[in-house]
Amino acid sequence: MHSSELKSILIDKINKIDDNHLLMEATRLINIELPIEEEQFVFSDMQKAKIKNALNQIDKGEYLTAEEANNDIDQWLNK
C-alpha cells in the first residue's frame, strides 16, 4: 500500500471518530517524531581521552557507588 493510500484511510478513520479522548491520544501519537535514520555520534579526541581515563579509573576501583555518592552529598549538605 502506498503512502497516499494509507493517508487517505487514516484521514477517513479520523473523520469518523467522535470520542474526544481517542482523538487526543491519536494527536499525541502523531506528534511523536520517529527517527528516520539515526546519526552516528563521533567523539572528539578529547572526549575519547576522557572516556579512556574514566574506564581506567573504573578498572582501578577509583569510583563511588550511587549510595556512597549520596552519603557524601548528605554529609556535605548537613555541614
Mean pLDDT score of the chain? 88
Any domain includes 62? yes
Q: Do 49 and 29 have their domain in common?
A: no
- The verdict on residue 7 lying in a domain is yes
pLDDT at 75 over 90: yes
Do 26 and 53 fall into the same domain?
Answer: no
Q: What is the DSSP letter of 41?
A: P
Give the integer Cα–Cα distance in Å for 52 and 45: 10
DSSP 3-state of 76: helix
pLDDT of residue 8 exceeding 70, the answer is yes
Range of the domain at 70: 45-78
Question: Would the pLDDT of 64 be above 90?
Answer: yes
40 belongs to a structural domain: no
pLDDT tens, position by position, 12-40: 999 999 998 888 888 888 886 656 666 77
Q: Are 26 and 50 members of one domain?
A: no
Same domain, 53 and 29: no
Nearest residue to 26 via CA among 40, 13, 41: 13
Query: pTM of whole model > 0.85?
Result: no
Integer angstrom CA distances of residue 56 from 8, 14, 44: 57, 56, 18
Whether 39 maps to a domain, the answer reads no
Q: Looking at residue 10, what is its pLDDT?
A: 87
**Total domains in the fold of the chain:** 2
Task: Write the CB contacts of 23 (distance below 8 Å, at least 6 apart in sequence).
Answer: 14, 17
8 belongs to a structural domain: yes
- In single-letter form, the type of residue at position 11 comes to I
Cα 74 → chain centroid: 29
